[in-house]
């Protein structure tokens, strides 16, 4: 998240390295990543242009050429939140994962990182009142990262102290420090995950450790990636070579993303591989896995052999040949959705397993920038998006509930807020999740990445503001 080119919340990257697009052929790598960056920039520019042309728009009437602005309950800037002009931007995500929640949420507080303008590095962690936008508490966390999920109402962070890395665990409701201490086992920090066990820290480079530290910073266990069989599948040079133009790049964990599994297990997905980690024991299983789709006590992978279901110990339980997975959203659990080589959504009995036949064909771009299907919403209100069509699936099967032409919109992610699906397009659309009826259109210039809290509240975070929306 310190990187300005981080894809938007809900963006997804497959083994080829593309963020918005999903594709399993290595030849499309460059195209995919370029499209990801293009979409983020295009969406921001579109919002800016719409804003400039729509200051007078205030209703949804037939004569209105531009939809009105989406209402906000409150908006707060980084300097307002921190109480100082020395803090000039929010950090887009707290754990430095490639995609994921842009900030941490509990019932009592929203927790975000912020730092100096253009530094792309945190200096403070802030607790924000979700109802008013007022700052409830603040702690200094130089170069800090925090796990993206709160645990029992607490937030876990690591930061740079005078003597190295240190751990800070905070009560999100009050800002009280629950635990803290030096983490002398940490040599570097790339991304973190917080659990009841402690803070799981991934270091920089394949020779650096995967380390679990307790709330007081003491070492629980440590494993080097180089000693974990199959972990080489998690390291790549794509972004360094294709996006940064580097020659002779060293393989790196370029696109790490976290997924929650049952019990002490967590899944670390970094295209084109995954690691299933038992946070209590330090047991790690790593293998190739594209479009990792986590479903609590098991997960699915796209492979050259088809779709493979894996159990928590990494054991494959079955394979569906000749099928691929669409790119899953950043939510857990996520539903697997199968597509064939003709980009047809294929209904599957996922318990059998047995393919039951195609249900709908999704069109893709005909030019070089091909955008394969992307899943969105929640398991109850699940969608698959092609180039011009949004398809909603039934809750208990892969049958089509409805489809909607979205060719007139610069589409992005789809999130579910109660029974309303919101497309982060330009303009933004609100859709009845049960019928597919378009309920409203709104423009917004606030924020970059959407976040749904407790299935009922929509917020957004950008470098310059954190805002809570009020939906029509």
Domain count of the fold of the chain? 1
How many angstroms separate the CA atoms of 116 and 91, rounded? 10
Q: Residue 165: give its domain's CATH number.
A: 2.130.10.10
Whether the CB-CB separation of 447 and 462 falls below 8 Å is answered with yes
pLDDT at 73 over 90: yes
Cis status, amide bond into 133, omega within 30 of 0: no
Residues facing residue 126 across a β-bridge: 112, 138
What three-state secondary structure class fits 310? strand
Reported as a pLDDT band with limits 50, 70 and 90, residue 290 is very high
Structural domain including 451 reads: 26-469
Convert the pLDDT of each residue in 297-342 to its tens digit: 999 999 999 999 999 999 999 999 999 999 999 888 899 999 999 9
How many angstroms separate the CA atoms of 39 and 95, rounded? 23
Secondary structure (DSSP) of 406-441: -TTS----EEEETTEEEE--SSEEEEETTT--EEEE
pLDDT at 21 over 50: no
Convert the pLDDT of each residue in 164-220 to its tens digit: 999 999 999 999 999 999 999 999 999 999 999 999 999 986 677 899 999 999 999
Reported as a pLDDT band with limits 50, 70 and 90, residue 27 is very low
In a domain, 7, yes or no: no
In a domain, 1, yes or no: no
Per-residue confidence (pLDDT) for residue 361, from 0 to 100: 94
| Phi and psi angles of residue 9, each rounded to the nearest 5 degrees, phi first | -60, 130
Among 374, 364, 326, smallest CA distance to 348 is for 326
Range scoring the smallest mean pLDDT among 69-78, 223-232, 245-254, 335-344: 245-254
Per-residue confidence (pLDDT) for residue 186, from 0 to 100: 96
Distances (CA, A) of 76 to 72, 130, 169, 175, 229: 11, 11, 25, 19, 46
Percent of the chain with pLDDT over 90: 71
pLDDT at 127 over 60: yes
Distances (CA, A) of 432 to 400, 402, 435, 436: 15, 10, 6, 5
In a domain, 286, yes or no: yes
Degrees to nearest 5, angle at CA 42 with 4 and 122: 15
- In the chain, DSSP finds a helix count (H) and a strand count (E) of 3, 37
How many angstroms separate the CA atoms of 161 and 183, rounded? 10
Q: Give the DSSP H/E element, type plus range, for residue 165.
A: strand 164-171
Reported as a pLDDT band with limits 50, 70 and 90, residue 370 is low
Secondary structure (DSSP) of 186-255: -S--SEEEE-SS-EEEE-SSTTSEEEEE-TTS-EEEEEEGGGSTTGGGG-B-HIIIIIT--SSPPPB--S
Residues facing residue 189 across a β-bridge: none
How many angstroms separate the CA atoms of 144 and 159, rounded? 4
What's the whole-number mean pLDDT along residues 21-49?
36
In a domain, 340, yes or no: yes
In a domain, 5, yes or no: no
What's the whole-number mean pLDDT along residues 387-409?
94
In a domain, 10, yes or no: no
In a domain, 3, yes or no: no
Reported as a pLDDT band with limits 50, 70 and 90, residue 406 is very high
Whether the CB-CB separation of 20 and 36 falls below 8 Å is answered with yes
In a domain, 351, yes or no: yes
Among 160, 145, 142, 36, smallest CA distance to 97 is for 145
Per-residue confidence (pLDDT) for residue 422, from 0 to 100: 97
């Amino acid at each position: 998240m310190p990187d300005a080119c981080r894809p938007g919340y809900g963006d997804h990257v497959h083994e080829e390295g593309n963020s918005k697009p999903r594709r399993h052929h290595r030849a499309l790598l460059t195209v995919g990543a370029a499209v990801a960056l293009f979409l983020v920039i295009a969406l921001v520019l579109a919002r800016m242009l719409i804003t400039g042309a729509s200051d007078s728009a205030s209703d949804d009437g037939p004569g209105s050429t531009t939809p009105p602005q989406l209402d906000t309950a409150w908006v707060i800037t980084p300097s307002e939140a921190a109480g100082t002009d020395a803090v000039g931007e929010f950090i887009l995500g707290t754990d430095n994962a490639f995609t994921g929640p842009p900030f941490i949420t509990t019932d009592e507080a929203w927790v975000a990182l912020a730092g100096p303008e253009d530094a792309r590095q945190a200096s403070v962690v802030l607790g924000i009142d979700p109802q008013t936008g007022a700052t409830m508490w603040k702690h200094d966390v130089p170069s800090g990262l925090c796990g993206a999920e709160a645990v029992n109402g607490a937030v876990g962070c690591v930061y740079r102290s005078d003597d190295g890395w240190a751990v800070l665990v905070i009560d999100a409701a009050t800002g009280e420090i629950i635990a803290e201490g030096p983490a002398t086992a940490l040599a570097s920090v790339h991304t973190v995950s917080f659990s009841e066990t402690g803070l799981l820290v991934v270091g920089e480079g394949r020779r650096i450790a995967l380390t679990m530290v307790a709330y007081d910073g003491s070492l629980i266990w440590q494993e080097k990636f180089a000693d974990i069989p199959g972990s080489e599948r998690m390291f790549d040079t794509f972004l360094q070579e294709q996006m940064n133009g580097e020659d002779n790049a060293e393989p790196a964990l370029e696109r790490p993303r976290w997924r929650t599994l049952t019990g002490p297990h967590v899944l670390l997905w970094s295209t084109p591989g995954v690691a299933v980690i038992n946070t209590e024991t330090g047991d790690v299983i790593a293998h190739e896995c594209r479009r990792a789709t986590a479903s609590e006590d098991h997960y699915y992978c796209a492979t050259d052999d088809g779709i493979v279901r894996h159990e928590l110990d990494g054991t494959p339980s079955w394979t569906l040949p000749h099928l691929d997975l669409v790119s899953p959203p950043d939510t857990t659990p996520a539903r697997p959705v199968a597509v064939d080589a003709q980009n047809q959504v294929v209904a599957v009995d996922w318990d059998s397993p047995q393919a039951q036949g195609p249900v709908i064909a999704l069109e893709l771009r005909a030019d070089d920038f091909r955008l394969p299907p992307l899943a969105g919403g929640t398991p109850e209100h699940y969608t698959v998006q092609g180039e011009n069509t949004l398809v909603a699936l039934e809750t208990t099967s892969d049958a089509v509930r409805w489809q909607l032409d979205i060719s007139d919109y610069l589409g992005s992610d789809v999130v579910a807020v109660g029974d309303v699906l919101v497309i982060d397009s330009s303009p933004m659309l609100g859709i009845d999740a049960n019928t597919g009826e378009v309920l409203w259109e709104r423009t917004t210039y606030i924020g970059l990445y959407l976040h749904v809290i407790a299935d009922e509240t929509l917020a957004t975070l950008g470098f310059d503001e954190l805002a809570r929306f009020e939906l029509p």
